[in-house]
């Protein structure tokens, strides 16, 4: 099921939610060979929905050479990721349906700008002076 969830994520990240089958295969190969983080995350999220069937539940439309995520597919993906964020923050699953205030921490203030250098004539380097003397 984590493989199917990965396909949903790939399609959701494409313009219009549509991608050629070759592109989906390339993304899957990259994700599953670049380290243990992606497969572990997909397994964790997919464990929340063990009966996920992206084709049987019509979460993806298949055309010749293309796959497109449906609105229902986007909703399922969003719900699963939202639940995973709540669990990752240490909140119980029962609170996942309750709207949270602001899920993201506020951005830090911009660092102060450096003080502009004083306008002073630059000293010529010694070797430049020797060239023109």
Q: Is the pLDDT of residue 96 over 50?
A: no
Residue, of 55 and 119, whose pLDDT is higher:
55
pLDDT of residue 124: 53
* Residue indicated by tokens 């069937």: 53
pLDDT digits (tens, 9 = 90+) for 47-58: 888 888 888 888
Catalogue the long-range contacts made by 79-88 (C-beta closer than 8 Å, 24 or more residues apart).
80/5, 80/45, 80/46, 80/48, 80/49, 81/45, 83/45, 83/48, 84/41, 84/44, 84/45, 84/48
Confidence of residue 66 (pLDDT cuts 50, 70, 90): very high
Rounded to whole angstroms, how far apart are CA atoms 92 and 107? 26
Where does 2-97 sit in CATH, by number?
A: 1.10.10
């Amino acid at each position: 099921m984590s493989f199917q969830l990965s396909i949903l994520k790939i399609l959701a990240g494409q313009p219009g939610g549509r991608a050629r089958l070759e592109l989906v295969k390339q993304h899957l190969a990259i994700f599953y060979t670049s380290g243990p983080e992606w497969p572990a995350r997909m397994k964790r999220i997919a464990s929340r929905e063990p009966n996920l069937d992206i084709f049987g539940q019509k979460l993806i439309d298949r055309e010749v050479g293309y796959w497109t995520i449906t609105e229902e597919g986007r909703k399922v993906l969003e719900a699963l990721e939202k639940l995973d964020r709540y669990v990752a923050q240490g909140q119980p699953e029962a609170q996942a349906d309750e709207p949270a205030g602001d899920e993201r921490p506020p951005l830090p203030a911009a660092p102060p700008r450096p003080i502009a250098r004083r306008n002073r004539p630059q000293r010529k380097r010694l070797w430049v002076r020797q060239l023109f003397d």
